[in-house]
Structures are given as structure tokens and as C-alpha cells.
Amino acid sequence: MTPRSMREGRELIGWGMASGTYPVNKLPAEAKIILTPQGKFVVQCAGADIGTGTYTILAQTAADILGVASTTIEVQLGDTELPRAGVAGGSQLAGNVTAAVNDTARRMRDQLLKLASELPQSPLNGTPASQLTLKGDGVQHNLRSGLAVSFARLASLAPAESLTVKGGTFPDDLSQSERDKMVRNLNDMSRPEKFSAHSWSAQFVEVRVDEDFGTIRVKRMVAALDSGRLYNPKLARSQWIGGMIMGVGQALMEEGIVDPRNGRVINNNLADYLVPVNGDIPSITTINVGEPDFEATTMGGKAVGELGIVGVAAAISNAVFHATGKRVRDLPITLDKII
């Protein structure tokens, strides 16, 4: 497209696009699931939810295996006394802890089927576990409708130690100290086991540039994103949009200004360090083009949050070039660089 070929009044219009990729980072994780005397499940993991929806997706992951509604599961996070998990960063926590919870939930399911089949006082005593299913609030017979035992009843019959199950993705032969070291080694996050896995995106942007003053406004943003399986599409969309907004800040506003006399950052507060606000953000459209990638993670998901950032600044820079004919190669793109 020819630069300066589109305008509306004194505003130059530019279209730009860029591709983006973000690696699938992986660390092992652990989880614990407890069946309470009330017949409810508690999922525990040391990972933190920093607003990314970890509570929700872990409840969903366990619920899919245990045959209960996700809203009935209590998830406990963010305590170092809980089973190990890595940092909530690098777009890796969801993939790591869902794998751990999936493994633990399967162990709990198998344990409950075994208890229902073997406990002498269970209505399902003597029934092969292969003929039993977890559904609703208990264990049910696949072939005989109405023959079941509730989780609460199982909890009252079973030894207490059998109602807590721990699982995860650590190698079984690791010591506790080796597990501590492994989960904290961020250098291993992006080290592929067998395959190098990535999330992908294509970012499209329309900008308007005031020909007289050089001010830049982003008018439209569209992104097609491949993050593999989305554990919760609404949460993924919110993270993508948040990342794209951060990309606008990176492209047009954010800059750490250092005083050359003493090396101090001058704009070290939110009054002077500019970030996008509501009035800076245009219509944003996200398009999910991903498919589950089970070579990347156990559950098929890939990086979500930070993928939204990647490529936005490049797309805006290309759009500014299309609008003005000026190629800016250092960020942020401020009006003094294009006038």
C-alpha cells in the first residue's frame, strides 16, 4: 500500500499488520484434592491467581473428571504450604497447573470408584469399577439406574487418609528438595522436552495521524490468535484484549526516562509514566483460530496472556508508516518523530 494514500480531512489514515509468537513455557506442578465429610471437593495448589482466572479453570478442570458442577468445587491457591507450582508469569501457569489438577482428579476418580466397589457397607460393593461412573453428587452404576452411593456417604465410610489424593507432573523419582529446586528454576521454563511449542498471532491495526500536529490515534484493532485449547474462552478473550491494550502503551506512550546526571528514573510514577486509558482504546476484535496442541501441554492449551502484546507495536508502526511515509524504529512513536 502506498504511504499517505488515505485520508479523511486533515487526518492521514494508515493500516498495518504484524505477526507475533510467544513460547510455551513449562514447569512441573503438583495439586491435592480432598473429599470433605460433606461430600464436596477441595482443590489445592500453590499457584497464584493474579486476575487471570486460575480459580475458575482449575475448578472446571477438576469438575470435568469428577462429574460435578464446577461451582461446587472449592479451589485454594496462593499459599506456599500447598502443593508446589511455578510463578504466575511467562504465560505458563495455566498449562502447568491444569495438567497437575487433571492428573490429581483422575487419581481421585479412580480412588472413589475403588472405594465404592470395595467398601463393605457401600451399596455398590462387589461391582467392578469399570461399571461405575462419577456423576452428580456420587458414584452411580452404569447399567442399573438408581443404584448409587453419594460422595458424603463414601466419605463417612472410608478411612480419612483415602479421601486426600495428591498428583502432578513431577517425575516420580525426585526428592522433595529436587522438586523445590525444579519448580523455581525459571531457566527451564522455555527449554523444550521434545518439541519447541509456540502460540501465534496476526495483529491488524488502523491509525489516524493528524497531519498538522502529528498526534496518533488507534481507531481499530483486530487480532487472530492461536493459543491452542482455550480452557475458558471468556477469560482468554479478556487476557488477549488486556495484552493488546498493553501493546498500544508500548507503541505510543510508555517510556522510562532516565536522568543522565544520576541514573534515576524521572517518570517513576503513574502521573508521569503514561499508560493507555479508556479514551485511548478503540474497538478491539479478537478471533480464536487455535486448536488443541497436546504436544505443547497435557491439556492442549498454549500461552494466552502475553501473546496479545506481541506484534501490536509492530502493527502500529507499520500503520503509521502507511499513513505518513515515515518509518519509526524506536519506541514509543511520539509526535516529534513523525512531524
Catalytic (active-site) positions: 306
Give the torsion sign (CA, 98, 102, 103, 107): positive
What cell does 76 get? 485454594
Under 8 Å between Cβ of 307 and 244: no
Q: What is the spatial distance between Cα 53 and Cα 67, in angstroms, rounded to a whole number?
A: 21
Give me the helices (H) in 5-132, please. 54-66, 93-118
β-pairing verdict for 74-76 and 41-44? parallel
What cell does 263 get? 541514573
Strand partners, 208: 13, 217
Cα→Cα distances 79→83, 122, 126, 182, 220, Å? 9, 36, 40, 18, 41
Which amino acid, one-letter code, is at 176?
A: Q
Under 8 Å between Cβ of 267 and 256: yes
β-pairing verdict for 283-288 and 11-23? unpaired
